[in-house]
Amino acid sequence: MSAFNLQAVFFDLDGTLIDTAPDMYAALHTLGLEEQVEIPPFSTVRGYVSHGTSALIRLGFPDVDAPRFEHLRQRFLQIYAENLHLNTELFPGMMAVLAYLEHQGMPWGIVTNKPANLTDPLVRSLGLDTRAVSVVSGDTTDQRKPHPKPLLLACEQAGIAPAQCLYIGDASRDIEAGLAAGMQTLIALYGYIDNTQQPDAWGAHGVIHEPRDIVPWLQSYS
């Protein structure tokens, strides 16, 4: 018998629910071509995707000054917004996980730091907008993860207490936000975690190596 009763699952977006790294890298590569700067290889860039746009620009253009940095950041966002869903898809096995949740009558949602002007069209293009009980973006509230406010809003929209919810993410701020909200937390080790990070120190309730690991983890608490 478990000590808690899970009733809903929420996912981070980039690096947890969907694999946006190919399109994010392509946008950074295009920007590098425009600026005649060589961008690090995909294997390096992938580990930075969950850190957001600013981290990607610092990685690709480490010596740029502050005024130029903002120009590059805005140009990157423009390029990416025009190419949101060329090679972005659900991670392998995730479609079956969502189908399982829906079959069980367990609502699921998305809580991301990605701004709504990018999140909403991407979620819609993947056909997830009508399936998710909640989609909370980085600018939906006045706080972003690691603050718990976005997760608390998602729980409120789902009508389920945070203690009965699971949050899955691939960054330390995801776990910090989930724990602060009083939720169960899982680390998606298949996500965008580079070798400088220490997920075993994040204090999550568990880890998964691929999306299909979510189902047996949920079943162990049913």
Please tell me the distance from the alpha carbon of residue 149 to that of residue 192, in angstroms, as a whole number. 23
Given a cut of 80, whether residue 203 has pLDDT beyond it is yes
Block residue for tokens 């189902």: 215
Please tell me the distance from the alpha carbon of residue 82 to that of residue 66, in angstroms, as a whole number. 25
pTM: predicted TM-score of the whole model, two decimal places: 0.95
Given a cut of 70, whether residue 4 has pLDDT beyond it is no
Over residues 31-77, the pLDDT tens digits come to 999 999 999 999 999 999 988 899 999 999 999 999 999 999 999 99
- Mean pLDDT over 199-222 rounds to 94
Domain ranges of the chain: 8-19+88-219, 21-81
Question: Is-catalytic flag, 14?
Answer: yes
Q: How far is CA 136 from CA 133, 155, 156, 159, 166, in A?
A: 10, 10, 11, 14, 15
pLDDT score for 222: 64
Catalytic residue among 12, 19, 23, 213: 12
Domain 8-19+88-219 sits in CATH 3.40.50.1980: no
Identify the band that residue 193 occupies on the pLDDT scale cut at 50, 70 and 90: very high
pLDDT score for 2: 46
pLDDT score for 170: 97
Catalytic residue among 14, 19, 23, 174: 14
Given a cut of 90, whether residue 202 has pLDDT beyond it is yes
Question: Is-catalytic flag, 23?
Answer: no
Over residues 103-131, the pLDDT tens digits come to 999 999 999 999 999 999 999 999 999 99
